[in-house]
Amino acid sequence: MSRDDLENLLRNHLGAELDAQRGRAARQFESRVIEPMRVSLATRNRRLRSLRTWCAVVSAMAACVALGFAVPRLLTQPKLEIAAVTPTAEISVPKTLAPLDGEKPVLEGLRYTSSQRTIDAGPALLSDGVPARRIIRQRVDQLRWRDPATGGRFEIIEPFENDLFVQVHQQ
């Protein structure tokens, strides 16, 4: 037997043995490595879906609890009503004040405005348990003038607020 014959014989024998194995390695790799990864991905997706569902349920429950606390507070707050509003009172002062000791006028265009309103804030209990009404008086005083020396305009706004409690006489 020559060397070439031996080589052909070995090639045919090994080819016949290995041809049966051809493609088998890829199938084995897929079944042992890739397939478990697919299963673990499906399991992980299932777990994530379950986690999302629980998060949604817990969030909905938290929203219900928040609404349970907020809605009664909104419904029971007393509504403020305006009992009486006085119109704005304006006092006009001459354009310039009389100068002091022959000097230039101190203020020009002095203007005073006062606005006020009274609000009935609803029923209240005094410290000794006596029923009363809470009345809120609000006032805003506004003073405007112009300085002739600098030409600047000035304005002072002062807000005031008083709370009054008027005893309610029961009949």
Report the distance separating Cα 133 and Cα 164, nearest Å: 8
- pLDDT tens across 55-112, in order? 999 999 999 999 988 887 777 755 555 555 555 555 555 555 555 555 555 566 788 8
pLDDT at site 9: 87
pLDDT at site 162: 92
pLDDT value at 134 more than 80: yes
User: Is the C-alpha dihedral spanning 104, 107, 109, 110 positive or negative?
Assistant: negative
pLDDT value at 123 more than 60: yes
Confidence of residue 44 (pLDDT cuts 50, 70, 90): confident
Sorted by sequence, the CB contacts under 8 Å of residue 158 that are 6+ apart come out as: 140, 141, 142
Q: What are phi and psi of 78, to 5 degrees?
A: -70, 140
pLDDT at site 52: 87
Q: What is the DSSP string of 52-102?
A: HHHHHHHHHHHHHHHHHHHHHHHHHSPPPEEEEEEEEEEEE--SBPPPSTT
Instruction: Name the pTM for this structure.
Output: 0.36
